[in-house]
Amino acid sequence: MAESNCTQVTEFSLTGFTEDLAAQVTLFLMFLLIYLVTILGNLGMILLIRASPQLHSPMYYFLGNLAFVDLCSSTVITPRLLVAVVLEKGVAYAGCVAQVFVFDLFGMTECFLLAAMAYDRYVAICHPLLYPLVMSPKRSFQLVAGSYLVGLTNGVGQTIGMSSLSFCGSNVIDLFFCDVSPLISLSASDTTLSRAILRTSASLFGVSSSLVVLVSYMAIISAILSIRSAKSKRKAFSTCASHLTTVSIFYGTSFFMYLKPSSRADKWAAMLYTVVTPMLNPFIYSLRNKEVKEALRR
């Protein structure tokens, strides 16, 4: 009865990082710079890959899609963050649902793109003679299309879970964007369905993609250690060093954000996961990759 008499929430309030004016201005400028660098870096990587014939290979096909996903996911989050830094401003329920859908779509797509890239490096290092056959253009397209399909499935599932929730009372989300977990905590209705979808997504999609990465790199490391020549070992490791760095940052920050108990550090962990990582990826691949640097020089 109490629930039926309460006023249904139609707008959520997202919080900033600090109430100190000087700190707000500093954070605003810092996040704006990060966003601009993210746009230029990822867009530049996409254009470079498309314009350079020597980069028309499966690895760079995956990388171009990774840059596109980073560009989209950053655009979904960072403009909202820039507003949340300087003031608490409401976001409509429909806008919150849309952000949940797009964020979960591209977030899970990135998980599977990284898994596909790990598999690509596994085939290249452990079965180099079979690489042209296994990683054919058709197979590469299927892996990328499958990544987007899984991301779409996750986005639709999380949106369905959120649509089953009702909100009345508090409408304050202690985060700078709409995410499923804090919304479940705010809900005044039965959260069984939304929690089941969240757990299923995490276990079925998140764990499976991370296992592909883990098993691939176990095989890669074993193959590299069996190489006798130190020079050949360094060359083999250099082909996957950039991807390994990206995987470590992405999964490290995402696991810290979603698997640890809730705390005040959540906001900063989310910032690293959603804002900083998309900016770093183009530089990781360009600074540590001879082919990309050569394409840049040309």
Q: What pLDDT band is residue 296 in, cutting at 50, 70 and 90? A: confident
Q: What pLDDT band is residue 218 in, cutting at 50, 70 and 90? A: very high
* pLDDT over threshold 80, residue 21: no
Mean pLDDT for the stretch of residues 64-92: 85
CATH of 11-297, one of 1.20.1070.10, 1.10.760.10, 3.40.605.10, 3.30.420.40: 1.20.1070.10
Q: What pLDDT band is residue 3 in, cutting at 50, 70 and 90? A: very low
The pLDDT value given to residue 244: 84
Helix (H, G, I), strand (E, B) or coil at 90: strand
For residue 125, the tally of other CB atoms under 10 A from its CB is 20
Top-confidence residue, 269 or 250: 250
* pLDDT over threshold 60, residue 231: yes
Top-confidence residue, 50 or 89: 50
The pLDDT value given to residue 9: 72
Structure tokens at 145: 């299309």
Mean pLDDT for the stretch of residues 215-230: 87
Q: Taking the model in full, what pTM does it have?
A: 0.88
- Structure confidence by residue, pLDDT tens digits, 252-286: 777 776 665 554 556 777 788 888 889 988 888 77
* pLDDT over threshold 80, residue 7: no
The helix (H) or strand (E) run that includes residue 14 is: strand 11-14
Mean pLDDT for the stretch of residues 189-217: 86
- Measured distance CA(215)–CA(211) in Å, rounded: 6
Mean pLDDT for the stretch of residues 157-176: 82
Q: What pLDDT band is residue 144 in, cutting at 50, 70 and 90? A: very high
The pLDDT value given to residue 29: 92
38, 198 in Cβ contact below 8 A? no
The pLDDT value given to residue 262: 53
HSE toward the beta carbon, residue 214, CA cutoff 13 A: 7
Q: What angle separates helix 58-86 from helix 137-163, to the nearest 10 degrees?
A: 30
Nearest CA-CA partner of 62 in 144, 184, 156: 144
